[in-house]
Amino acid sequence: MFYQKLDEFPKNFLWGAASAAYQIEGAYQEDGKGLSIWDKYAHQKGNTFKDTNGDVAVDHYHHYKEDVALMAKMGLKAYRFSVSWSRIIPTGDGEVNKKGLQFYCNLINELRKNNIEPILTMYHWDLPLVLQEKYQGWEDKRTADAFLKYAKVLYTNFKDKVKYWVTFNEQNVFTSMGYRWGTHPPKVKDIKRMYKANHIINLANARAIKLFHEIVPNGMIGPSFGYGPVYSRTCDSNDVLASLNAADFNNNWWLDMYCRGKYPFFTYKVLDSLGIAPKVTDTDKRILEDPLAHPDFLGINYYHGGTVQQNRIEKPVKDKNEEHQFTKTDPYLMQPKGDKAQNPEVPMFNNVDNPYLKKTEWGWEIDSTGLRISLRQVYEKYQLPIMITENGLGAKDKVENGQINDDYRIKYLRDHILAMREAITDGVDLLGYCAWSFSDLLSWLNGYSKRYGFVYIDQNDNENGTLKRMPKKSFNWYKQVIKDNGSNINEEE
């Protein structure tokens, strides 16, 4: 749908950028910080790209003032960062480390001094290692209890300084990678354990939100979900049905729980019949269905969606013309064939490539309209304000004559900001946009070859860069977008 004239971005729109503690801070053993599961995982050979780790990262811990000064120079209105739980409570559920708290207090004060709204993420994947070793991490409800204790420390210390809070970053991603595909800590490959851990995280999320509403009545809280719209490969109604199944399995499984306190009936029934659904007790239901335990806004991290067709793996394709290439996400490529309980989606839908979309160097589809679709779908279904808490392009940036000309990133961001403006014109209530990422940072599994920032940082996979900060071309471009409140991004271009 095209408009003669697009609506303006709201006056107080939060033009922001994001980061995560493990990917930027470094100082992994400084000032009393405990180890996290990522500290251990990245130190084990072969787990990450070229064995890169966050020991130093881009040393934001020591450069935070310089980094905030650059944010201010850019005119950033909001900055999303995460707190490292093991910096605050090194043993996960023991004593509070005052120096850890002080670091975030300093950072928040520095942001406020520069009129930058802090958006605080409580959990961006770096669980204190002690909790993994003592309780088996998220597979035990005592980790949820520990999270509540940690949440209370954050709420009481920062309730007057921080308005926007994010509970869990991409619960769908870190549970799948950590417990199903075995590519993140704790490196488990068992879908039943994934659903169990995920359920305990749902309880932690709901309890933390409820507590927030008691302690920080004027704040807003919600999870950041990794959302991807699902497309049907054809207009064959069986493919369309498969796309409904996939949306349920990939998105509703988490979003329905956050906003309604219930798993979607269809997917639950399938998982239950395979003996892998999580048990939901009456006490769980009371916690999860309590409206005070539901979010005030939804954080959406948007990179790409997916395309599916009806089950052709189990039902052989007869017509040769119908054959297609399966993508890397094909569940049969990632799991041993034949084990139905480990591959519950196979009968429901099969992932295929989308011939209409180009991909990044890492094979992620580029689909700005998908962002508008996502915003529409999520807003329509849950009627909550949305904040885009991540969106960006990973690329191999090059420094040439002291400059980084990342025109490709500008194009990517421009297209996505336009999609956002169109969604606002459609009627979506959008609070803000946090591009991933403010500065370059450590990619969990891609080291420093995949960069996202507006600010280049001289760091490399051997961690011996100078750490010099250099604004890229996109830095000045985004500065202008913020200055114009996005009015220069419109459909005519």
Position among 67, 93, 117, 170 found at the interface with ligand BGP (CB under 6 A): 170
> Considering the rule CB under 6 A, would residue 438 count as an interface residue with ligand BGP?
no
> Considering the rule CB under 6 A, would residue 446 count as an interface residue with ligand BGP?
yes
> Considering the rule CB under 6 A, would residue 64 count as an interface residue with ligand BGP?
no
Can you state the angle between helices 282-289 and 191-215, rounded to 10 degrees? 50
Q: Residue 349 corresponds to which tokens in the numbers above?
A: 């839908």
* Distances in whole angstroms, Cα of residue 240 to Cα of each of 84, 247, 309, 350: 42, 11, 7, 12
> Considering the rule CB under 6 A, would residue 20 count as an interface residue with ligand BGP?
yes
* Distances in whole angstroms, Cα of residue 77 to Cα of each of 71, 73, 208, 371, 478: 9, 11, 26, 22, 12
Is residue 314 part of the annotated active site? The answer reads no
Is residue 345 part of the annotated active site? The answer reads no
Q: How far is the CB of 442 from ligand BGP (least distance, A)?
A: 8
Alpha-helical runs (H) found in 16-140:
21-24, 37-43, 60-74, 85-88, 98-113, 129-135
In DSSP terms, 232 is beta-bridged to: 308
Q: What part of residues 221-280 is at the interface with ligand BGP (CB under 6 A)?
A: 226
> Considering the rule CB under 6 A, would residue 173 count as an interface residue with ligand BGP?
yes
The full DSSP string for 333-360 is: HHS-TT-GGG-TTTTT-EEE--TT--B-
Residue 86 preceded by cis peptide, ω within 30: no
**Start-to-end Cα distance in the chain:** 16
Q: Residue 237 in 3-state DSSP?
A: helix
**422 vs 440 by CB, closer to ligand BGP:** 440
Q: How far is the CB of 95 from ligand BGP (least distance, A)?
A: 28
Position among 9, 147, 444, 456 found at the interface with ligand BGP (CB under 6 A): 444
DSSP strand pairing (350-352 vs 386-390): unpaired
Q: Which of 25, 345, 365, 390 is catalytic?
A: 390
Count of residues that interact with ligand BGP, criterion CB under 6 A: 14
**264 vs 394 by CB, closer to ligand BGP:** 394
Position among 179, 436, 438, 448 found at the interface with ligand BGP (CB under 6 A): 436
Q: Residue 61 corresponds to which tokens in the numbers above?
A: 């811990």
Using the rule CB under 6 A, give the single segment among 55-63, 166-174, 307-315, 474-482 that binds ligand BGP: 166-174
Q: Residue 102 corresponds to which tokens in the numbers above?
A: 């002080």
Cβ contacts of residue 91 below 8 Å, gap of 6+?
Answer: 34, 128, 130
Q: Which of 170, 345, 422, 463 is catalytic?
A: 170
Position among 350, 443, 459, 474 found at the interface with ligand BGP (CB under 6 A): 443
> Taking CB under 6 A as the rule, which mask of x and - marks residues 359-398 in contact with ligand BGP?
-------------------------------x---x----
- Phi, psi of 109, deg, nearest 5: -60, -40
Q: How far is the CB of 452 from ligand BGP (least distance, A)?
A: 7
**59 vs 170 by CB, closer to ligand BGP:** 170
**103 vs 436 by CB, closer to ligand BGP:** 436
Q: How far is the CB of 392 from ligand BGP (least distance, A)?
A: 7
Point out which residues bind ligand BGP (CB under 6 A): 20, 169-170, 173, 226, 301, 390, 394, 436, 443-446, 450
Q: Give catalytic residue positions.
A: 170, 390
